[in-house]
A and B are shown apart, each in its own frame.
Chain A
């Protein structure tokens, strides 16, 4: 039978359209009761011995869904009219209801009353849709009673008084929810009952997208005028907001007016801010200020603390974990409470594009339908973003970039739109690109403008260059370079000549990049932006275009190239007698790798002039190194890891620790010397605007963990100065050969990062470089891959009077900006390299679970952190399963840095050797992680 439904609707454009739809009535819809003789009972869900069958009203379903989910409620018939209404009103309740109906164990049956020829009704004239639906429910209930006869009692549950009255009039048994539940005689069910006058829907419910139904979740931002006046009066405070990386619902606003950071807790107090926004904050009353407690970690699968990662090489790299051990120890003094506030307005938004992926969700029916998806960013500080897309199928398993458009106070998440796809999740190239994007690294190809600044290739030293009086012709000197194997961008070369006087002339020649990169050109601007070359495992993102880095500037063997040289005359005891700096033309005679150079020096059969030079240099280098160590230079163990990559598939073949040879140290020594010499020269000439590099000394707090660990194994370290520390480290010898290295690795974690700075910003004592124990330092020797070196080259050239200092150096704030940018880029490049290594580690271990030895470096209440020397990685090992945190089976001994089983049978102490099993697991689809388990 065919009916037709017609109704009038308003389209998005505002036009009014009449919609006519067909509606077919069927006679093959069954009642779902197994006892029924008439109907086909294959799809029946109601049990044969049911004495009462419930039919629910829409409001009952909406309000009492918790009650319905309780197993005590059974034998329920859900009418399709009720289902439709629930779907339109509240999507999450609808989903739960569908879950109930689909659950084979619960006796819920969906009866399509709208399509059954006996129970379909048309709206009467003047009847509102609600009334019509209620009448449909009553008609269906009546039909059920008639259909099943006296075998069962059909009960209509409704709280609506009108409905109940009409039902009773029509002969249907009706009850309210409360009376029915009471009749069941289970008092605990009464607790699940929700009072009908319940207030707003709690935030856990999914939002209804229709504007009339949205609830206001966030308070409105105050208008700008009010904010400015508030700032004047001092009731509001302005500052930049930083979200806590480990807890996205906690943020800090650095405020100058208060002098301390204001903490913002909780989603509603944060009021739609993003990390990096400039906000106006109102302080909460004092009694609501939170105590200083350790940063809480939101228990999530992506817990950064619990990921296996590379051993950190400085305190900045180590995750800022709460030492749960610390918290559990008696901390009697309660820390003073920190000012807490809430955000009232946003002065400047810091929105940009974010990369991540979509939350898995079922596909919409047709591929072209609009789907509303939630985008989860890789950066945990960013909230989830809602986007609309018509190509959900194309995007679900890909890494995508999304930009934010708006966030109004009615919606829980900001709205944004899809920008572009990066690639498949898990695909190595895609993940590498994600690493680059996350760290703000520009990997786009160089534009035509930039390439236009290069001289045409093939390039060679021209007669003009040779004729330049400022450029010394050093092509006759035996210059050579020593670099990692396969290195194409050679930026440094050395020579060592024995002078007739018995002294040595040692020279360090650096590629003359500033000859080609002039200030103010697009090439220079691009390089300033990029700041440094980035080294990923499988590729390198260059700061300068390839023709420059690998050909024109690179000091390759057997070709003449331009260079900037630092030449010393030194005694055989490596005392520097004189230093001179000059631009030069050189011709390298050999480009050796570290292995080759070492082999030549070691093999006594080689006695050619080149090898003699190498050996002389090595001797000098050793003396210089010893001198530095005496002054207090630290030799910390690097846990650097190297990958052997398959040339075809670019998959990692082998992973191992980086080998340091004498040849490495030799080159390093002279580079350091060159850097120091240049630093002295430019500082003398330009005391206020030189670009230098410093390494702040670590504070006592930063060295705490090291001292504690050392004390636990009975070692006392003197950390009063770098020399003292270096000496203590040298004397830290334990019974096993790896002990010393391990202590050095632990020491590395406590160090600060070295940074660039403008000499005018700080006072001379602060120029100190802790790690090298040098009063002055800068970067000069790698202009091909670091922009700081380019700047220093320009400074040196000006100091020598070869050219004028560019005007930018007179602008102090600009210089500070440049230094800050360089630090930022350097930091990002390091993080990207580490992330790339971690990515490849994951790929390497993907199908290669392995058992190996590990050393405990930190104790926690539910396990410990180990360091695996063979691969240079560290990660957590759990003694209790993650869910049962602190079950009490294991106790921690702070003093001895041990974790003991409750019955005292087994204990693990720091620096102990254990055996672990490494395997890649995928607890969530597409999010693999490396897991360490104790064997």
Chain B
């Protein structure tokens, strides 16, 4: 099957180095301290952050830093087939762990000892790249909640099909069975915090693909900054200054 036509167009008309359309919205859940909706093409994710607040389970309290918890779920209706057990399976557990560790790296937890920060991420529409969308949404939500972070975390995925590195795979391209590299970076510091890959790739090709994914992350970071700046301006104007 051709995923990249000889004219250089992918199945949905993008070129190999192009990302899907991104759209972000801050403040979707009114009850939460911070929330955001992040869309990458047809993948739509909503994130809500509660915290810093008192630790619910005293035995888990950490005396020198904040406790970060994260829960990742996919809604029943997020994929084409209605899913029966979206919660608690191994994949969800692993992704929850990964998101938690990623966000923990950038939150300045030592500023909030003996408190707890909860991040809830729910996938509303899944069309490939859910992990990345979740991390991006979580970053926005944390920023919206005003939690101190050393840097934003943005994430993007890339793959390698028909001997071309492709940026931001959608579901069809992902299920082709080719390699899938998900990268999460701290844009200001230019450091890689999340890196996952499956399927086989020779090392040099991997380098190219990782490079491409990092570029994508930087582009998302720019967009997120814009959104946050826009949001801040709005808040300012509402305050009346």
Instruction: Please list the residues of chain A having a beta carbon within 8 angstroms of any beta carbon in chain B.
Output: 2, 4, 15, 17-26, 80, 98, 101-102, 110, 112, 114-115, 364-369, 390
* One of B8-16, B54-62, B144-152, B206-214 contacting the partner: B8-16
B7 in contact (CB, < 8 A): yes
Are the CB atoms of A365 and B12 closer together than 8 Å? no
13 A-B pairs (CB sep. < 8 Å) = A21-B170, A21-B172, A22-B20, A22-B21, A24-B12, A24-B18, A101-B6, A112-B7, A366-B199, A367-B200, A368-B176, A369-B1, A369-B178
Instruction: Please list the residues of chain B having a beta carbon within 8 angstroms of any beta carbon in chain A.
Output: 1-7, 9, 11-14, 18, 20-21, 41-42, 80-81, 127, 159, 161-162, 170, 172-173, 176-179, 199-200
Q: From known contacts A20-B42, A365-B162, infer whether A2 and B176 are also in contact, taking CB-CB under 8 Å.
A: no
Cα–Cα distance between A21 and B1 once the two chains are bound (Å) = 17
Are the CB atoms of B199 and A367 closer together than 8 Å? yes
Which residues of chain A are within 8 angstroms of B81 by Cβ–Cβ distance?
15, 17
The majority secondary structure among interface residues of chain A is: mixed
User: Which 4 interchain pairs have the tightest Cβ spacing?
Assistant: A368-B177, A366-B178, A366-B176, A24-B13
Are the CB atoms of B1 and A364 closer together than 8 Å? yes
Are the CB atoms of A365 and B9 closer together than 8 Å? no
Cα–Cα distance between A101 and B1 once the two chains are bound (Å) = 18
Q: Which of A25, A102, A114, A364 has the most CB of B within 10 A?
A: A364
Cα–Cα distance between A364 and B20 once the two chains are bound (Å) = 24
Are the CB atoms of B2 and A365 closer together than 8 Å? yes
Which residues of chain A are within 8 angstroms of B4 by Cβ–Cβ distance?
365
Which residues of chain A are within 8 angstroms of B5 by Cβ–Cβ distance?
80, 112
Cα–Cα distance between A15 and B80 once the two chains are bound (Å) = 11
Q: From known contacts A101-B6, A365-B2, infer whether A25 and B178 are also in contact, taking CB-CB under 8 Å.
A: no
Cα–Cα distance between A368 and B159 once the two chains are bound (Å) = 13
Are the CB atoms of B178 and A367 closer together than 8 Å? yes
Residue of A nearest to B199 (CB): A367
Q: From known contacts A2-B21, A23-B12, A114-B13, infer whether A366 and B6 are also in contact, taking CB-CB under 8 Å.
A: no
Cα–Cα distance between A155 and B154 once the two chains are bound (Å) = 51
Are the CB atoms of A22 and B80 closer together than 8 Å? no
Q: From known contacts A2-B21, A112-B9, infer whether A22 and B41 are also in contact, taking CB-CB under 8 Å.
A: yes
Which residues of chain A are within 8 angstroms of B159 by Cβ–Cβ distance?
366
Which residues of chain A are within 8 angstroms of B177 by Cβ–Cβ distance?
366-369, 390
Q: Which of A15, A24, A102, A366 has the most CB of B within 10 A?
A: A366
Are the CB atoms of B13 and A26 closer together than 8 Å? yes
Residue of B nearest to A20 (CB): B42
Which residues of chain A are within 8 angstroms of B41 by Cβ–Cβ distance?
22
Cα–Cα distance between A365 and B173 once the two chains are bound (Å) = 10
What's the nearest-Cβ distance from chain B to residue A539, in Å? 34
Residue of A nearest to B180 (CB): A366
What's the nearest-Cβ distance from chain A to residue B219, in Å? 16
Q: Which of B20, B178, B179 has the most CB of A within 10 A?
A: B178
Residue of A nearest to B176 (CB): A366
Which residues of chain A are within 8 angstroms of B6 by Cβ–Cβ distance?
98, 101-102, 110
Cα–Cα distance between A23 and B20 once the two chains are bound (Å) = 10
Which residues of chain A are within 8 angstroms of B20 by Cβ–Cβ distance?
22
Are the CB atoms of B3 and A22 closer together than 8 Å? no
What's the nearest-Cβ distance from chain B to residue A206, in Å? 16
Cα–Cα distance between A24 and B3 once the two chains are bound (Å) = 15
What's the nearest-Cβ distance from chain B to residue A418, in Å? 17
Cα–Cα distance between A365 and B5 once the two chains are bound (Å) = 11
Q: Which of A21, A114, A365, A367 has the most CB of B within 10 A?
A: A365
Cα–Cα distance between A4 and B21 once the two chains are bound (Å) = 12
Other than the known A21-B170, A368-B178, what 19 A-B pairs have Cβ atoms closer than 8 Å?
Answer: A19-B80, A20-B42, A21-B11, A21-B42, A22-B20, A22-B127, A22-B170, A23-B13, A24-B12, A24-B14, A24-B21, A80-B7, A114-B13, A365-B1, A365-B176, A365-B178, A366-B176, A369-B177, A369-B178
Cα–Cα distance between A365 and B199 once the two chains are bound (Å) = 13
Cα–Cα distance between A98 and B6 once the two chains are bound (Å) = 9
Cα–Cα distance between A25 and B21 once the two chains are bound (Å) = 12
Cα–Cα distance between A376 and B170 once the two chains are bound (Å) = 36
Residue of A nearest to B20 (CB): A22
What's the nearest-Cβ distance from chain B to residue A872, in Å? 45
Which residues of chain B are within 8 angstroms of A18 by Cβ–Cβ distance?
80
Q: Which of B12, B127, B176, B179 has the most CB of A within 10 A?
A: B12
Residue of A nearest to B21 (CB): A2
Which residues of chain B are within 8 angstroms of A80 by Cβ–Cβ distance?
5, 7
Cα–Cα distance between A2 and B23 once the two chains are bound (Å) = 13
What's the nearest-Cβ distance from chain A to residue B225, in Å? 23
Are the CB atoms of A17 and B178 closer together than 8 Å? no
Which residues of chain B are within 8 angstroms of A21 by Cβ–Cβ distance?
11-12, 42, 170, 172
Which residues of chain B are within 8 angstroms of A115 by Cβ–Cβ distance?
9, 13
Cα–Cα distance between A19 and B6 once the two chains are bound (Å) = 25
What's the nearest-Cβ distance from chain B to residue A396, in Å? 14
Which residues of chain A are within 8 angstroms of B172 by Cβ–Cβ distance?
21
Residue of A nearest to B177 (CB): A368
Cα–Cα distance between A366 and B2 once the two chains are bound (Å) = 9
Which residues of chain B are within 8 angstroms of A15 by Cβ–Cβ distance?
81
Residue of A nearest to B171 (CB): A21
Cα–Cα distance between A112 and B10 once the two chains are bound (Å) = 11
Which residues of chain B are within 8 angstroms of A24 by Cβ–Cβ distance?
12-14, 18, 21
Which residues of chain A are within 8 angstroms of B1 by Cβ–Cβ distance?
364-365, 369
